[in-house]
Structure 1
Amino acid sequence: MKKKLAAAALSFSIIFTAIGAGSAFAESKMDQVIDKTIGSKYVAGGVSTSGFDCSGFTLYVFDKIGIDLPHQSGSQYQMGTAVSQSELRAGDLVFFNTNGKGVSHVGIYVGDGKFAHASSSRGVTISTLSESYYVNRYVGAKRIMSKTAYQTVATDSQDNDDVQ
């Protein structure tokens, strides 16, 4: 009996994990765009679901929600307002120095310490900021979206009243 209960509990936890694995912003517009890109391959200079580089991925996602970004992580880093890691919210851009020469990688924060990005080795994926690779290369974060844009595209409708 205990084995059956344990198996059932494990099955339910796997199902609930799979359902919630997309990203932290439930059914937001941004979440839907990101979900459609997960698994796309990495292509240097790529800006479509047939292949992305990191800034091409962020450019694509933000374009789909009506925000223009340049196609270069260093240029994207020059935009928006700096935010501390403790103040990150879904839709903020997170930046990394992966080549020792300044900002060279960008992703989109999705909540719960995770970010979506086009990894040169894994394609479009979700990673955690706490992974040692990213901790050691983290440069900072920028808020690109206004409060209104954030409420419109990066939260589900029930969260809109809670945004500050």
Structure 2
Amino acid sequence: MFRKFIKLLFIFISLLFVSCSSVKISEKERKVRVVKILDFHDAWNGTQYKYGGTTQNGVDCSGLMQILYREQFCIELPRTTWNMSKKGVEIKKNSEWEVGDLLFYKIGRKKVRHVGVYIGENRFLHASTSKGVIISEISNYWRDNLWQVRKIL
């Protein structure tokens, strides 16, 4: 009985450390993720924004993230930004952001939701309503409207 308890305790503690959001990825893994995201960007760069779109004829922000994660990381994400925002683990400190983390925004009076993927060096890939699929600097505008960051990978 005591042995079983110790075994379960060990498993619980191991899972706690493995799922800890502050664990940094290796430099090799970081580079692999960047290459995957930038390759995806090369294929989708300039694709126009289309609400509800999921093709290179037009795509919205959540559709872009869903396709990116499916094609590059073999992970299925929900279709909407709201449902995506419930997945993974929330990251509270920007010093803990890693390449591949999803950045969620609430923008404007109606608090429209928006999502993009962090690629490091203060930049993220997303589908802009005005410019289509682009990489943007995380400027004051984006910082001021940041809602949450979630680790999926």
TM bracket (short chain): 0.7 to 0.9
Matched AA of 1:99: G
Distance 2:103 2:112 in 1: 10
Match of residue 78 from structure 2: 70
Match of residue 119 from structure 1: 128
Task: Structure 1: state its 5+ residue gaps.
Answer: 1-23, 146-164
Match of residue 139, structure 1, among 147, 150, 153: 147
- 4+ long deviations beyond 4 Å: 24-27
Distance 1:110 1:41 in 2: 21
Larger strand fraction of residues: 2
Deviations 1:50-76 (A, max 9, x none): 211110110111110211011111111
Question: Would the aligned equivalents of 1:74 and 1:103 in 2 still touch at CA under 8 Å?
Answer: no
Please report how far the alpha carbon of residue 28 of structure 1 lies from its aligned counterpart in structure 2 after TM superposition: 2.5
Deviations 1:121-161 (A, max 9, x none): 110011111x122121011210101xxxxxxxxxxxxxxxx
Matches within 5 A, 1:45-56: 45-56=52-63
Task: Structure 2: state its 5+ residue gaps.
Answer: 1-29
Please report how far the alpha carbon of residue 40 of structure 1 lies from its aligned counterpart in structure 2 after TM superposition: 0.7
Match of residue 57 from structure 1: 64
Equivalences, count: 121
Matches within 5 A, 1:1-164: 25=31, 28-65=35-72, 66-83=74-91, 84-102=93-111, 104-129=113-138, 131-145=139-153
Distance 1:81 1:128 in 2: 24
Question: Would the aligned equivalents of 2:90 and 2:148 in 1 still touch at CA under 8 Å?
Answer: yes
Please report how far the alpha carbon of residue 32 of structure 1 lies from its aligned counterpart in structure 2 after TM superposition: 1.2
Distance 1:25 1:117 in 2: 19
Per the normalisation by structure 2, the TM-score is 0.72
